[in-house]
Amino acid sequence: MEQISCILNGYYKNASVGIDAIEAILPKVKNEDLSKELHKQMDYYKEQKANLNKQMQKNNITPESQGTMAKICTDMTIAVHSIGGMDTHEIAKLMTEGTNMGIIEMVQTMNENKDVPENIKRQGKEMIRREEAYIERLKPYL
């Protein structure tokens, strides 16, 4: 059960960090198409977070927040990069880098917790597939 808790919390953290990052960057986005893409991705993260919350409740697992320091780091990174303004390319690069970090963290979590049911492994693989597709959709803005 501990591995299931760890991996579901890893998935939950990915969605939470994604939401926070997009919410922090959206006010700086001037490109309407990129803004739509970010909103679409944020909706996906919110859906995943809600589904994971329900899944965790069924398994008597308490979702762990990403932590205040992690949120401050995300906000500070965006603030530092936006000094003097950010163009579409810089925003897409920052979001791509953050998404790639999220993929790495999810893969590491999955590799460290191999003894979980197949459906939870498939869930993680699908989330990673969606993250990779998101990166592909961001590439035209780089």
Label residues 60-77 b or e (16+ Cβ within 10 Å = b).
ebebeebeeeebeebeee
Measured in whole angstroms, how far is the alpha carbon of residue 119 from the centre of its chain? 20
Count of Cβ atoms closer than 10 Å to residue 107 Cβ: 14
Domain count, the chain: 1
**Each residue's pLDDT expressed in tens, for the chain with a length of 142 residues:** 789 999 999 999 999 999 999 999 999 999 999 999 999 999 999 999 999 999 999 999 988 876 655 666 665 666 665 666 689 999 999 999 999 999 999 999 999 999 999 999 999 999 999 999 999 999 999 9
CATH number at residue 97: 1.20.1260.10
What are the start-end ranges of the H helices in 31-117? 32-58, 68-81, 88-112
| Total H helices, total E strands in the chain | 5, 0
Evaluate whether 48 touches 127 at the Cβ level (below 8 Å). Answer: yes
Q: Which domain holds residue 62?
A: 2-141
